[in-house]
Amino acid sequence: MKSIFLPFFLSLSCFLAQAQNESIYYKLIHPETKAESFLLGTYHIYPEGWYEVPDEVKEALAKTTSLITEMGSNSSSKYSTKINQVTRYKEGQTVLDKLKGDEKASFQKYIDEKIGGSESAKIEMLNRKPYFMLGRLFALRFSDSVMSMEGQLKALAIDNNIQVQGLEPDEKRLYKYAKKYANQIEPTNLSLVTEMQMLTTAKMFAEYLDGDLREMSEKVKGATPMAIERNQYWVPQLMKMLKEPSFIAVGTGHLLGDQAVQELLKEEGFIVTPIPISQARPQALIDLLSDINSP
């Protein structure tokens, strides 16, 4: 069942964390220019109000000249368009159109009773295929809005006149994996699948806020090739980008294992220093976890 637990964690499917993976946050010193940069593992999707960018991250970002995120800057390319299309049903269709009889009635009841958010947010979510939908279901269950950590950081960068750059992806590979994951979960028994997702996501988000990389890794047994390939594809780009002080924000899964971003940069001569960081858990998350753990 592990393949259905983490629908929006393509980048979080990596090797079990080893001793070198100490934090979700690092300082990096370039081997040639000695420029000081920072690397933050992010959590892509969560309910509004459940995360605020920590002051120490804001201060570090303000010292840099660019924010580097994992989304490629060439968003109009044919592969970016194809990747987006493969994650969704055809225009006007939602996952409800794929369900029949009792399954459709059950999932519609689940949405009506347990999922918050505006009708437009729900429709946008339901337009996605199940693998790419479940994370949004989790966020909308507790909020009217689905939040993006990268989006929050980009807004801060723009406010501080800091350049925003994208790590160019190997789009052919990304399309291959997106197509694979799009078909990974059948649109059946979604009420049950979603509840399982809620439990796993709640625990992992709590561990993220705690800054507990090892505990997060325990829920991701085994690697997909995707995260490792992307890390290796990014390093030559980062070697050039990090000649100037920069702030990198990529999914936390890219910080796990012996092929983690910081480990590959260390091999290239960077001085890599983990920085402990944590944030208080929101009350709604505390209450949910308490309910889960109640006998």
**Angle at CA 287, nearest 5°, toward 286 and 288?**
95
C-beta of residue 256 within 8 angstroms of C-beta of residue 217: yes
Highest-pLDDT range among 82-86, 196-200, 202-206, 242-246: 242-246
In whole angstroms, how far apart are CA 19 and each of 41, 115, 217, 268? 17, 39, 12, 19
Residue 64 structure tokens: 């840099």
Please report the sign of the dihedral spanned by the C-alpha atoms of residue 164, residue 169, residue 171, residue 177: negative
User: Higher-confidence residue: 11 or 135?
Assistant: 135
Report yes or no on whether pTM surpasses 0.85.
yes
Across the chain, where does the E strand assignment appear?
25-29, 36-42, 45-47, 66-69, 146-148, 163-166, 246-251, 271-274
What average pLDDT score do residues 2-12 get?
38
Taking a C-beta distance cutoff of 8 angstroms, is the pair 174, 70 a contact? no
What is the predicted pLDDT for the residue at 286? 94
Cα separation, 206 vs 284, in Å, equals: 11
Percent share of the chain, pLDDT over 70: 88
